[in-house]
Amino acid sequence: MTDARTDGIDLTWLITHGAGMAWQYAMAVQTALTDIDAALAADDHPACVEACAVALRAIAYCDQVGAGYLGRPTHVEHHVHLALDPSPAARALRRLPPAGGATRTDAETARALVREQDERLRALLPLRIPVLRTAAGFFPTVGIAGALERLRTAHGLGPVDWDQWGI
Produce one character per residue of 51-88: b if its CB has 16 or more CB atoms within 10 Å, e if not.
Answer: bbbbbbbbbbbbbbbbeebeeebeeeebeebbeebebb
**Res. 5 pLDDT band, cuts 50 70 90:** very low
Give 5 or 20, the one with higher predicted confidence: 20
Is there a contact between 21 and 76 (Cβ–Cβ < 8 Å)?
no
For residues 106-123, give the mean pLDDT.
96
pTM for the whole structure:
0.77
What contacts 161, CB < 8 A, 6 or more positions away? none
CA distance 143 to 154: 17
Query: 42-94 pLDDT, tens per residue?
Result: 999 999 999 999 999 999 999 998 888 887 888 899 889 999 999 999 999 99
Domains and CATH numbers, the chain: 11-158 (1.20.120)
For residues 148-158, give the mean pLDDT.
72
pLDDT for the residue 4: 46
